[in-house]
Chain A
Amino acid sequence: MRNPTRDGQIARGLSRRSFLSHSAVTTVGGVLTETALAVAGPARAQTSEPGLVGPDAAPIALTVNGVERTVQAEPRSTLAEVLRGPLGLTGTKVPCDRGACSACTVWLDGEPVDSCMMLAVDVGGRAVTTIEGLAKGDDLHPVQAAFIEHDALQCGFCTPGMVMSCAALLQRNPHPTADDVKGAIAGHICRCGAYPHIVEAVLAAAQTAKA
């Protein structure tokens, strides 16, 4: 079996990624040389065609937690980046940045989505709700209160997204079963293992809401 590393099979001709140094490996006298010059430099602003936004930062209007906000952002900025950066809403967390853990869940028009896998420019007129916008002033959402009461969290890093998914579930299904709750959070990862208390908390919150 030939060794693909040794004969330069790996990453030949691919050069865009920068944080791992496997760009553009070429064999030069038996020595692999990294060259990643041209492609990784800062992109130049293009002459914009009509209807074209970017690639430079441009104003993007967003309705976040009921307030219209305009940020300057490049089209490549994700909703999570814009929320956490220019808008300062750091309650939304980004553990995986690939839609695999759902911790970055926010609502678009009331539906939970991964804000790390949504471009800010793609949000359009849809209303964004983040964890910061869930409580009504000092009054916690019933799911938030139940999370505290049932100790449905440990480190708390997955909690904002988890709360958003559970609150959305109660919005569309006020009387969920335990399986419904598990289904609603089936895309979430909680490494501390709070799932049992989360399910308990959401079922209890549904009871509270009924009362």
Chain B
Amino acid sequence: MAGPTRTETFPAGIASVGLTTVTREIPADEPPALPPNGELKVIGKPAPRQNGRAKVTGAIRYTFDITLPGMLHAAVLRSAQPRAEVQAIDVSAAERHPGVRAVIVLAQPGGPAASLRYIGQPVAAAAATSPEAAREALGLIRVDYKPLPFVTDMDAARKPGAALVFDAASAPGASPSAFPAPATGALEGNVRGPTATRRGDPDAGFAQAEVVVEGEYSTQVQTHCCMEPHGIVADWTAEGLTVHISTQFTAGVRHELADVFGLPLSRVRVVVDGMGGGFGSKSQLGDYGRIAVRLSRQARAPVRLVLSREEEQISVGNRAGTWQHLRVGARKDGSLTAISLQSYGTAGVTVGGGVGNSAEGLYTCPNFAGEQSDVFIDAGPASAMRGPGNTQGAFAMEQAIDELAERLAIDPVVLRDRIDPSAVRREERRIGAAKIGWSRRRAPGADKGPVKRGLGMAQSLWGANVQINSACEVRVLRDGSVEVLSSVQDIGTGVTTVLAQVVAEVFGLQPAEITVRIGDTDFPSGPPSYGSRTTASITPPARTAAWRVLQRLLAQAAPALNANPEELVATGGRIQVRTDPSRSMAFREAAAHLRTDGISETAGRSDDYGGFKRVTGDAAAAREDLGGVQFAEVRVDTETGVIRVERVVAVHDCGRPINPRQLESQVQGGVLMGVSYALYENRLLDPHTGWMVNPNLEQYKLVGPRETPDIEVAFLEFYQGNSATDAYGVAEPANIATAPAIANAVYNAIGVRLRALPMTPAVVLAALGKIPQRS
């Protein structure tokens, strides 16, 4: 640790199990250890959402709602061919349209982008004085295509002789950051990889096994379906570029814009206020973002580009579909001897089809062999989506463990107590089992009638991620008002409120007294809102900056109380002498003693006090992973094949919980996305034309209110003395365990294991042998 340090003693352990302490060496300019939540006034309490009022009144402005004077509207001409070469393109008629101000060609004949590889790939774009004029202009563009053989099915793409999506020169290689996918290695046909991982001696491990379970699992392509479509308003002026964009990462988009358009960072500003959901798909600038900026540069006017729902569904990301072959060997006592995983996943025209590290890392097993490969097909690119990789991986791994438990005649919870090294998940299993009434669980298929009930559980594994490049400024102004500033964005997870709570706790104020101004790169550069890392990254700098400001405030106010600054504390809206509360003044009064109109401190994220497991560029992973255990109760109508999830108990950890109500909201959301993944969602492509047949929100089916189970959420308080707040994230773990928990519950209900998603009535009836075979 560079710079002066001091030691501090922190609470440590799981609150419901019993707390101890841990002593850490920390930077000298960071605040003292934060006590457990039970001793705090604001942190750990359900403060109402800061922008709640703006959201329930419709006042908050999303990118979708931004209009600027003289703003043009853009539209994108997209490929109608799954695979084609653009041979000629003529935009002259479009340019002559009276409303048109700029036309750009993206698939320039002869260039690399002339190879169209999926339906929806941008070909050209226009900006015009109205959305209608922009669309009319697209109709005036004449494109000559040479259609080419294509492949849109992963299994077909793996076969010899399949149409090739890429050649070696054009195929994407390593996966983008924050996307736990393998996707390195050789290209053979349409297959990139495998990426191999090996530990111990898997063959010997399987030889030692007394029981081996083995299965093939497949998962569908899921789309993000953010309610606010991807959208941008780009304003290129002589002074620089200002971009309003619905993004999960203002600071990252600013870097991309500076790189792509050759601008200094100081001339690029990225802004977002209301943000209507991202789930991983809005982490980057995207082709639509580049298109809008190019059009704005060309037209010298602000350009709005907001995608239609169909464009959303086909062109801006999805969760890769996968196939996995998983083998798990164990001794009779349950101890695992070997695991082998082979997977293929398709991220369309990009990479990212991996299945994460559930099989490799969730349980203690000395021997592991993994081979994960990407398969290219002529379909829209995947992108990260809430727990990418591990969500698919857990669907297989957690069913395999359930199957193993049955083969060994060991209760699935008990088996995990033996093979799961995580003390956090052990406690989560204990709490969850009690809440769901796990002791009620019966043998598979125990119900006599056509409607059968079952209980199942599954676990999640996810890194506790931190963005080191995260900074926050805190200001106290002379009237006692407090500002928190960072480019970090609130995509609905509630970080605005969390920041207000953390800073309010320092100043002895209420969250509502804190003004949080975020989502603007004019403020210190904050973290992305992906990889479950926002809270872990930005709350420690916020508390540190606030604490530093407070020290300065106390120093300037101390003379008025005839005290030394060290004797003063901020509590209950007042500054007072710790040992003599009668000597006090209101916080506002103290601020009036400031020599200047305001004082400000900016702090960055320091390393976890206990060190990181891994650091890659700006991204780091804490030593302890995140856990999360979910239990599901289902009802299966064996005559109609309909599965209903009746109840889910979700027990999670995120270090120190800061806002329990918002956390509950987020976990409910993760569970529901998991229910939706398990039972309903499916990107369907026509096998002959390559078109997505359900590019909407009607036939692409999302869980609705009537399919929403009763969801009970519980949180551990888990302290490790790792930062000024000791807080981590939760968004992704909340989604990972749900589908396998449901699948295990379905097995418990009907005695038949469903290894493919989604578990529709057609799948259930087929698994039950109820569909007559056709001659």
* A and B: interacting chains: yes
A31-B140 contact given A98-B696, A189-B227, CB 8 Å threshold: no
Binary CB contact string for chain B from 83 to 117 against chain A (1 if under 8 A, 0 otherwise): 01001000001000111000000000000000000
A125 at interface by CB-CB < 8 Å: no
Nearest CB of A to B101, in Å: 15
A5 to B687, CA, bound (A): 11
A18 to B60, CA, bound (A): 32
A21 at interface by CB-CB < 8 Å: yes
A90-B58 contact given A18-B75, A32-B81, A191-B277, CB 8 Å threshold: yes
B226 at interface by CB-CB < 8 Å: yes
Q: Which of B328-336, B490-498, B562-570, B594-602 contacts A (4 or more CB under 8 A)?
A: B490-498
> Does B78 lie within 8 Å of A153, measured CB to CB?
no
A96 to B64, CA, bound (A): 13
Q: With a CB–CB cut-off of 8 A, which chain B residues contact A20?
A: 77-78, 80, 120, 310
Q: Which of A33-41, A44-52, A168-176 contacts B (4 or more CB under 8 A)?
A: A33-41
Binary CB contact string for chain A from 100 to 137 against chain B (1 if under 8 A, 0 otherwise): 11010000000000000000000000000011101100
A79 at interface by CB-CB < 8 Å: no
Nearest CB of B to A4, in Å: 6
> Does B79 lie within 8 Å of A18, measured CB to CB?
no
> Does B51 lie within 8 Å of A100, measured CB to CB?
no
Nearest CB of A to B609, in Å: 31
Query: Which of B46, B52, B227, B668 is in CB contact (< 8 Å) with A95?
Result: B227
B42 at interface by CB-CB < 8 Å: no
B430 at interface by CB-CB < 8 Å: no
A155-B308 contact given A23-B139, A41-B139, A148-B48, CB 8 Å threshold: no
A197-B665 contact given A96-B309, A101-B227, CB 8 Å threshold: yes
A159 to B689, CA, bound (A): 37
A31-B80 contact given A18-B139, A153-B56, CB 8 Å threshold: no
B706 at interface by CB-CB < 8 Å: yes
Q: Which of B142-150, B285-293, B369-377, B574-582 contacts A (4 or more CB under 8 A)?
A: B142-150
A11 to B494, CA, bound (A): 46
> Does B58 lie within 8 Å of A192, measured CB to CB?
no
B interface size (C-beta, 8 A) = 92
B698 at interface by CB-CB < 8 Å: yes
> Does A193 lie within 8 Å of B673, measured CB to CB?
yes
Q: With a CB–CB cut-off of 8 A, which chain A residues contact B277?
A: 154-155, 157, 191-192
Nearest CB of A to B311, in Å: 7
> Does A191 lie within 8 Å of B702, measured CB to CB?
yes
> Does B147 lie within 8 Å of A6, measured CB to CB?
yes
B458 at interface by CB-CB < 8 Å: no
A31-B309 contact given A22-B80, A132-B58, A154-B492, CB 8 Å threshold: no
A interface size (C-beta, 8 A) = 78
> Does B688 lie within 8 Å of A4, measured CB to CB?
yes
Max chain A C-beta neighbours (<10 A), residue from B53, B87, B135, B146: B53
A40 to B708, CA, bound (A): 44
A62 at interface by CB-CB < 8 Å: no
B671 at interface by CB-CB < 8 Å: yes
Binary CB contact string for chain B from 659 to 690 against chain A (1 if under 8 A, 0 otherwise): 00110111011111100000000000000111
Nearest CB of A to B320, in Å: 19
A84 to B67, CA, bound (A): 11
> Does A195 lie within 8 Å of B708, measured CB to CB?
yes
* Residues of chain B from 319 to 351 with CB closer than 8 A to chain A in the complex: none
Nearest CB of B to A7, in Å: 10
A186 at interface by CB-CB < 8 Å: yes
A64 at interface by CB-CB < 8 Å: no
A151-B696 contact given A3-B688, A33-B144, A156-B55, CB 8 Å threshold: no
A23 to B180, CA, bound (A): 39
> Does B142 lie within 8 Å of A34, measured CB to CB?
yes
A10 at interface by CB-CB < 8 Å: yes
Q: With a CB–CB cut-off of 8 A, which chain B residues contact A191?
A: 224-227, 277, 279, 673, 702
Q: With a CB–CB cut-off of 8 A, which chain A residues contact B51?
A: 156
A98 to B710, CA, bound (A): 30
B770 at interface by CB-CB < 8 Å: no
> Does B274 lie within 8 Å of A157, measured CB to CB?
yes
> Does A5 lie within 8 Å of B690, measured CB to CB?
yes
Binary CB contact string for chain A from 60 to 97 against chain B (1 if under 8 A, 0 otherwise): 00000000000000000000000010000111110111
Q: With a CB–CB cut-off of 8 A, which chain A residues contact B706?
A: 182-183, 186
A101 to B531, CA, bound (A): 28
> Does A182 lie within 8 Å of B705, measured CB to CB?
yes
> Does B136 lie within 8 Å of A42, measured CB to CB?
yes
> Does A5 lie within 8 Å of B147, measured CB to CB?
yes
Nearest CB of B to A176, in Å: 13
Q: With a CB–CB cut-off of 8 A, which chain B residues contact A190?
A: 227
A33 to B146, CA, bound (A): 9
Q: With a CB–CB cut-off of 8 A, which chain B residues contact A30?
A: 146
Q: With a CB–CB cut-off of 8 A, which chain A residues contact B79?
A: 21
> Does A5 lie within 8 Å of B81, measured CB to CB?
yes
> Does A188 lie within 8 Å of B705, measured CB to CB?
yes
A21-B143 contact given A155-B228, A156-B276, CB 8 Å threshold: yes
Nearest CB of A to B249, in Å: 15
* Residues of chain B from 446 to 493 with CB closer than 8 A to chain A in the complex: 491-493
A181 to B708, CA, bound (A): 12
Query: Which of A18, A39, A140, A197 is in CB contact (< 8 Å) with B56?
Result: A140
> Does A11 lie within 8 Å of B49, measured CB to CB?
no
Nearest CB of A to B442, in Å: 27
Q: With a CB–CB cut-off of 8 A, which chain B residues contact A186?
A: 704-706
**Chain A minimum-CB-distance residue to B55:** A156
A21-B491 contact given A40-B136, A131-B57, A182-B706, CB 8 Å threshold: no
A19-B274 contact given A93-B64, A100-B698, CB 8 Å threshold: no
Q: With a CB–CB cut-off of 8 A, which chain B residues contact A188?
A: 704-705
Q: With a CB–CB cut-off of 8 A, which chain B residues contact A148?
A: 48-49, 52-53, 56
Nearest CB of B to A20, in Å: 5
* Residues of chain A from 142 to 171 with CB closer than 8 A to chain B in the complex: 144, 147-151, 153-160, 163
Nearest CB of A to B227, in Å: 4
> Does B227 lie within 8 Å of A21, measured CB to CB?
no
A154-B665 contact given A22-B80, A25-B80, A147-B52, CB 8 Å threshold: yes
Nearest CB of B to A130, in Å: 7
> Does A36 lie within 8 Å of B146, measured CB to CB?
no
Nearest CB of A to B73, in Å: 11
Known interface pairs A21-B143, A32-B146; 12 further A-B residue pairs with C-beta atoms within 8 A, sorted by A's residue number? A5-B147, A40-B140, A42-B98, A42-B132, A93-B62, A101-B227, A144-B57, A151-B494, A154-B666, A157-B62, A193-B671, A197-B665
A interface with B by C-beta (< 8 Å):
1, 3-6, 10-11, 15, 18-23, 25, 30-37, 39-42, 84, 89-93, 95-98, 100-101, 103, 130-132, 134-135, 140, 144, 147-151, 153-160, 163, 181-183, 185-186, 188-199
9 A-B pairs with the lowest CB-CB distances in the bound complex, closest first: A91-B58, A40-B139, A155-B492, A22-B80, A157-B276, A193-B672, A193-B669, A156-B55, A154-B492
Q: What are 8 sample pairs from A and B whose C-beta atoms fall under 8 A apart?
A: A21-B143, A33-B145, A95-B276, A97-B308, A140-B57, A144-B57, A156-B60, A194-B668
